[in-house]
Amino acid sequence: MSDKIDFDFFGDGLRIFLDYIHRQFKKNPKYMPHPLIRAFECAIQGAEKAKVGQTFMGVSQNGTPKNVCNPFVVVMEKIESGVGVKEIRNIKVDKTVPIDVMLIIFRLQILLDRIEGDCISPAQMVDALNTVIPGNKFYALGDRWKEARDEFMRLLEAGKIRVPNNSKLIDGLTSITYNMTWEEYPNNVRAFIGSSIAQKDNMPSGTVIITSPTNSKIEKFKVFDSATEFLLGESSEFLNLRGKQENNKTPDKNEPSQ
Amino acid sequence: MAVSIKEINNILAEYFDIIDSYFGSIKHHLGQEEDSHIDLAVHMARYPLVSDLIIDAIDDIDEQISAFWQKNLKTVVEYVKQQDSLKCLYSGDISPVILENFVKRSAFYIDTVILADPIYNLTLFQKQIILDRKYYLQKLIRHVFNVWKLKDLALLDSPQKVIIILPINLQLVNQESRNSLIATADQNLAAYVGKILDVKLDSGEACLDYLEKETTADGLFKQFKHPELLPRIFASQESFQKFLADFSNTGKFAKFKERESVGWDFGIYLRSQFIRVQEHKHFCEKLIAEPIYDYDLPWFFFNYEMGGVDMDAAIATALQNEKFNWISKVPLSAIAVMRAENKLEYMRSVLRQGVTDLKAKKDKDLIVVGEQIEANLKDAFAKQESEIGVLQAQVNKIVRKDIPITSAGFLAGFIPPPYGTVVSLLFAGRDIKKSLTERSVLETTINQKNKNFINLLLRSYER
């Protein structure tokens, strides 16, 4: 059969994912899928009624008015046999979204849907990202922030840390005291200090330390935004999360199934 | 109140709707080949990245299927129990390798094939012990589409359902009964292993501990003191080794491989078979059904436990033998034809000739029963061919001698002898009409015989 079937890898995945979205709508009419899917839907609706050769653009986003997240644009063209995708783009990172990143976003959507509410914990975020992005590159600092702080101090005193010439960061660093709780640290300082745990544990290069306090709540749309940044944004060049794609060996049809 | 077939069809339609809502968008890949569901599963599970998306997207099918059975189980069980017909409950694997062929073979003898819902068993139970997600996806797609291919037959509006799907699993049995069934299985396991090795073993645990000590297939084989008590596939050292290697390979994907010992693997396999036998017996009794299998190993252990089975179970299972592979060429529509013609009882009487409960009970490998029913089918085919031959000769006679002459006379106004000129055109017309009617009746009979289920079988046999 393998030679006879022209498998459309992405198409099959997309159709199964759209079936998933459809089932979620049946369970909850107020269900809100990822902006990429909403942009897709808008573009398809337009293109379906258009004449051959005409293009339609769907745009969608989430977040808040002050913090726009996940702005996606989908451009579709009406062709003889239906509609064709011309472009899928994330406007924030200003890059075309490749198929593997789309698949990661779809999977992230499914995993986050399984967690009730609009927010998740840092540990849940790390679990979700490690599940969908190959390489187990994410680490939740959690309650190990004191270890990270002490390691940071040790490295600083040993002259092994170079503090960037960033006034906000320097102000933040000078404002902290030994008795402060992790929640009281400014966000940028948490990120700077927290990553010291990677040196302490000899974590592989490119590991992303999520330094949010254990009890904090992270909006789901921010998780998508972070994932897109890690995969396509400026930091993607250093993280190289989309390196080698897996191709798992599964048993063939002649292997025993019982 | 009795459950109607309409209610059952509605329930089964809902079951297939659930499958469709999860896997409908890839069903167009299913080819015409009988094993296309296996190929599709292998391909889908190998998709890089996409297979992960599919696994995540279908992950909640267990909730759907569980809710579905919570709502409908009682009604379907009630329906099965109220059927005063020959029902057979399948056991052996999650679903038969090629369900379509299994059902074709079965449906020529039994009224209803009861199939344990493969989606229920895979998503609610096997998923917990399968370590490799891709392996799970492969199994799920394979068994889902195995069932999906028979959707039309499952929804057929016949007096007896050809297929019934039910959630059947030991976990559904209440704890007290379950513990009792497992305890019986463990006792039987210890007794069996004790016999083949000629050692005294008091419990299932002692049996596994004893077998664990043996780390090679060769060493284990040499310990068999009574090979005559082993299934045929274990009778030669080579086939025994191959079986254990395959079984161990499967273990890579599941959690049951707790210890690194060939003897342990063998013990675990035997234990699973003895437990399955108890499960099968339990559900056969509950549903008032006969057991049916599609391959030798599980059949062997059931037979060993029961000391043989009766005629119906033996014939139904013997039809799954390799010698009846040709039945897989019978179109599925033949089953619908047979049910429409209400000829199942006739078919049964054909197959049963010369088979008795006693003969079946003695025939552990179903060789005698298989040969008998093969001979019975050949007789039926010969009779069928002979009947059609006689009818065809009659038609040919009418065509050659009467119709062309009388037709010509009628058309040309010429009345052939012996009627002479006194015979009216009306008379000649009636004569022609009579001949035509006679021919038409014969041709219809031949046509019916050609289309009837036994002829459909015959054509598949001759192919």
Minimum mean pLDDT among A3-7, A14-18, A161-165, B449-453: which range?
Answer: A3-7
- On average, the pLDDT of chain A sits at 86
Q: What is the pTM of this model?
A: 0.79
Interface of B with A in 68-97 (CB under 8 A): 93-94
**Per-residue pLDDT, A106:** 95
Interface of A with B in 109-128 (CB under 8 A): 110-111
Cβ–Cβ below 8 Å for B53 and A22: no
Cβ–Cβ below 8 Å for B39 and A2: yes
**Per-residue pLDDT, A248:** 40
Q: Among A6, A9, A12, A31, pick the best mutation site for testing chain B contact (most B Cβ within 10 A).
A: A12
Identity of the residue in A5, A19, A247 whose CB atom sits nearest the CB atom of B48: A247
**pLDDT tens digits, B42-99:** 999 988 889 999 999 999 999 999 999 999 999 999 999 999 999 999 997 888 888 8
**Per-residue pLDDT, B419:** 35
CB-based contacts of A205, cutoff 8 Å, min separation 6: none
**Read out DSSP for A113-136?**
HTS-SSEE-HHHHHHHHHHHSTT-
Cβ pair B286, B73 in contact under 8 A: no
Partnered with residue B292 across adjacent β-strands are: B90
Q: What is the mean pLDDT of residues B434-450?
A: 67
| Distance from C-alpha of B132 to C-alpha of B153, rounded to nearest angstrom | 33
Write the CA distances from B253 to A190, A251, B256, B303, B380, integer angstroms: 42, 9, 9, 29, 48
Pairing between β-strand A138-140 and β-strand A119-120 as defined by DSSP bridges: unpaired
**Per-residue pLDDT, B428:** 38
Distance from CA of B21 to the nearest CA of A (A): 6
Distance from CA of B47 to the nearest CA of A (A): 7
Q: Among A26, A106, A252, A257, pick the best mutation site for testing chain B contact (most B Cβ within 10 A).
A: A257
**Per-residue pLDDT, B425:** 35
| Distance from C-alpha of B107 to C-alpha of A213, rounded to nearest angstrom | 64
- Burial pattern A87-101, b for ≥16 Cβ within 10 A else e, equals ebbbebbeeebeebb
Interface of B with A in 337-376 (CB under 8 A): none
**pLDDT tens digits, B305-359:** 888 888 888 898 888 888 888 888 778 877 887 788 787 888 888 888 888 888 8
- On average, the pLDDT of chain B sits at 83
Evaluate if residue B454 carries a pLDDT over 80: no
| Distance from C-alpha of B321 to C-alpha of B105, rounded to nearest angstrom | 10
Q: What is the DSSP letter of B227?
A: G
Q: What is the mean pLDDT of residues A41-68?
A: 88
**How far is Cα of residue B251 from the mean position of the Cα atoms in its chain?**
27
Evaluate if residue B365 carries a pLDDT over 90: no
Residue whose C-alpha is closest to residue B87's, from B117, B59, B109: B109
Evaluate if residue B406 carries a pLDDT over 60: no
Distance from CA of A68 to the nearest CA of B (A): 27
Q: What is the DSSP letter of B4?
A: P
Enumerate the residues of chain A whose CB falls inside 8 A of the CB of residue B137: 250
Distance from CA of A118 to the nearest CA of B (A): 20
Evaluate if residue A239 carries a pLDDT over 80: no
| Distance from C-alpha of B186 to C-alpha of A136, rounded to nearest angstrom | 43
**Per-residue pLDDT, B439:** 64
Evaluate if residue B445 carries a pLDDT over 80: no
Identity of the residue in A107, A250, A255 whose CB atom sits nearest the CB atom of B134: A250
Most trustworthy range by pLDDT among A212-221, B128-137, B256-265: A212-221
Containing A103, the helix (H) or strand (E) segment is helix A99-113
Q: Which residue has the higher pLDDT, A242 or A3?
A: A242
Partnered with residue A72 across adjacent β-strands are: A60, A90
Pairing between β-strand B163-166 and β-strand A55-63 as defined by DSSP bridges: unpaired
* Chain A: residue whose CA lies nearest to B140: A257
Identity of the residue in B49, B54, B249 whose CB atom sits nearest the CB atom of A16: B54
Interface of B with A in 127-156 (CB under 8 A): 132, 134-135, 137-139, 142
Evaluate if residue B271 carries a pLDDT over 70: yes
CB-based contacts of B85, cutoff 8 Å, min separation 6: B111, B112, B160
**How far is Cα of residue B383 from the mean position of the Cα atoms in its chain?**
27
Identity of the residue in A1, A16, A22 whose CB atom sits nearest the CB atom of B53: A16
CB-based contacts of A206, cutoff 8 Å, min separation 6: A135, A137, A238, A239, A240, A241
Evaluate if residue A154 carries a pLDDT over 70: yes
Identity of the residue in B21, B139, B142 whose CB atom sits nearest the CB atom of A23: B21
**pLDDT tens digits, A100-134:** 999 999 999 999 999 999 999 999 999 999 999 98
Per-residue pLDDT band at B450 (split at 50, 70, 90): low
**Per-residue pLDDT, B436:** 57
Enumerate the residues of chain B whose CB falls inside 8 A of the CB of residue A22: 21
**pLDDT tens digits, A184-213:** 999 889 998 988 888 888 898 889 999 999
**Per-residue pLDDT, B393:** 66
Per-residue pLDDT band at A243 (split at 50, 70, 90): low
Per-residue pLDDT band at A21 (split at 50, 70, 90): very high
Residue whose C-alpha is closest to residue A60's, from A81, A15, A87, A90: A90
| Distance from C-alpha of B53 to C-alpha of A131, rounded to nearest angstrom | 11
Q: Among A5, A8, A16, pick the best mutation site for testing chain B contact (most B Cβ within 10 A).
A: A16
Q: What is the mean pLDDT of residues B196-210?
A: 93
**Per-residue pLDDT, B100:** 87
Q: Which residue has the higher pLDDT, A8 or A41?
A: A41
Identity of the residue in B26, B57, B134 whose CB atom sits nearest the CB atom of A248: B134
Cβ pair B121, B93 in contact under 8 A: no
